[in-house]
A and B are shown apart, each in its own frame.
Chain A
Amino acid sequence: MSQTDLEIVVDDPTAPEDNSPSLASTHAVEIIVCLLLLALAATLGYDNWRTGASWDSTGPEPGYFPFYLSLVLGGGSLYGLIAALAARRKASETFVTRAQARRVMAVFVPTLLFCLVTQFLGLYVASFLLIAGFMRLVGKIALWKSLLTAFLFTAVMFVTFDMAFDVIMPKGPLEAAFGY
């Protein structure tokens, strides 16, 4: 818990403006989600039908439940689709405003990059980069604090998992250079 003792104090950066234009309405998103779910239901339904979805002498075949479940999922999404389309005329709530979307992306994109870096450089390097980068660029926290926190956290994780408990995390060239 050492990193909590660092006494990092920071002003809350501006909250998203309330008057930011809407990027998507809830109904529109619902329609997209329902369409995606319908496609998933169709794919899984087909696969299970191929596996065998009948009820033979010893009870249901492996595809039986999943097949009917995909029908249920399909039905539910279809209902949702129709409901969303019907309600579309009415004033719709905002799913996300432009300002909000930007902020969500500010955390989603680094997370995505973090996963990508983990794949190639290992988890610890990725974790250092993510924490330092996020604190500095998004949180506007002083550079030395960001670097120090990131290093301490990553080091604590490394000692805990890889050394103390033998839980082996994905590692890359840097760790290999130190013989791990």
Chain B
Amino acid sequence: MTLAAALWVAPAVAGWEPTKPVEIVVAAGAGGASDQMARMMQAAIQKNNLMKQPVVVSLKGGASGAEALMYMKSSEGDPNKVLIAYSLIYMLPLSAKIPFNWRELTPVSVIALDQFVLWDNSAGPKTVKEFVEAAKAASSPFKMGGTGSKREDHVLTVFLEQKTGVKFSYLPYKSGGEAATQLVGNHTESNVNNPSENLEVWRAGQVRPLCVFDKERISYTAKVTDTQSWADIPTCKEEGVDVQYLMLRAMFLPGKVTPEQQAFYVELFHKVTQTAEYKDYMEKQALKPIFLTGKDMVQFLEEDDAQNKSLMMEAGFVAK
């Protein structure tokens, strides 16, 4: 009996496996997009028994997520912590001079790409053109809500200004959820939230998507509201404003972990992307599915880093 059990377990213990609870480190506050994604993965791993050890989500959103970056940096060699990263890994070191470089961490996989959409209140202008005209004609600048300062939302706003010649007042909120409700309450005229952040208020008919900042339309064609699906939102380029931006969602281990440990997590997250929970989540939040690992991932990161850097430089957000 014991012998049989030992034989059965044998292939599983061939590689490395965590012996302690695994922490998914979230570089944002509770309820944000990263947190939701971490909880989805926690549920997917636990429900499908993908790992023996439990998964805990630890929120390290202090200092706009810098806390999580420094935490990962100082956990060198610890294979029980995985960071769920987004574009802050490029931007924060530039804007706030945080002594951090993603190359010091161990890349595991890119698991999704997040879209950005230009939204306005459903009582506001109906198309990008009308929106731009109204913003130009307004006596005081239109207020644009977003998450954080000198980050993706802020950069997008600056680019929108450059392409359209409109001046916005950018209001940095603590979370995308806050930016969403502030738009519904008419405290701002527009925001550039991710689809997931505005999903519910869109379904309730309180906000309107004007255009998506991507080369192509979002692929999901199932109806989200009574009349529209994600695929019905035009790209900004179609509407005459050529601004594109996609944000990575990727997993990283701390630096100096062994290749076996890295391989375990590559496999784990690959399995996660096969689960029903993941697929369901991707569609619901209108995320772009992608799975990159190894060399492909590093190449992607380098290119993405270079692009983000030049955007930050142009926007003047790089601290001296």
Contact = CB atoms under 8 A, between A and B. Distances in A.
Contacts of A58: 169
B54 A166 contact: yes
B290 interface: no
Nearest to A62: B149
B56 interface: yes
A166 B56 contact: yes
Contacts of B54: 166
B21 A166 contact: yes
B58 to A, nearest CB: 9
Nearest to B58: A168
Interface range for B: under 10
Q: Interface on chain B toward A: helix, strand, loop, or mixed SS?
A: loop
Nearest to A58: B169
Interface in A49-108: 58
A19 B19 CA distance: 60
A168 B20 CA distance: 10
Contacts of A180: 20
Interface string B8-21: 00000000000111
Nearest to B55: A166
A82 B20 CA distance: 58
A158 to B, nearest CB: 14
B314 to A, nearest CB: 20
A166 B19 CA distance: 13
Interface in B139-197: 169
Contacts of B21: 166, 168
Interface of B: 19-21, 54, 56, 169
Given A166-B21, A168-B20, A168-B21, 5 more contacts: A58-B169, A166-B54, A166-B56, A179-B19, A180-B20
A168 B80 CA distance: 12
A179 B19 CA distance: 9
A45 to B, nearest CB: 21
A141 to B, nearest CB: 36
A106 B196 CA distance: 56
B135 to A, nearest CB: 18
8 contacts: A58-B169, A166-B21, A166-B54, A166-B56, A168-B20, A168-B21, A179-B19, A180-B20
Interface range for A: under 10
A168 B58 CA distance: 11
A21 to B, nearest CB: 47
Contacts of A168: 20-21
A168 B56 CA distance: 10
Interface string A142-180: 000000000000000000000000101000000000011
A143 to B, nearest CB: 35
A169 B207 CA distance: 45
Contacts of B56: 166
A166 B23 CA distance: 10
Nearest to B56: A166
A166 B80 CA distance: 13
B258 to A, nearest CB: 18
A156 to B, nearest CB: 20
A95 B60 CA distance: 41
A87 B55 CA distance: 61
A179 B21 CA distance: 13
B162 to A, nearest CB: 19
Nearest to A165: B56
A179 B20 CA distance: 10
B98 to A, nearest CB: 16
**Residue with the greatest number of chain A CB neighbours at <10 A, chosen from B21, B54, B169:** B21
A162 to B, nearest CB: 9
Contacts of A166: 21, 54, 56
B239 to A, nearest CB: 29
Contacts of B20: 168, 180
A171 B19 CA distance: 15
B315 to A, nearest CB: 15
A15 to B, nearest CB: 44
A43 to B, nearest CB: 20
A179 B54 CA distance: 17
Closest 4 pairs (CB-CB, A-B):
A166-B21, A166-B56, A166-B54, A168-B21
Nearest to B80: A168
B169 to A, nearest CB: 7
Nearest to B53: A166
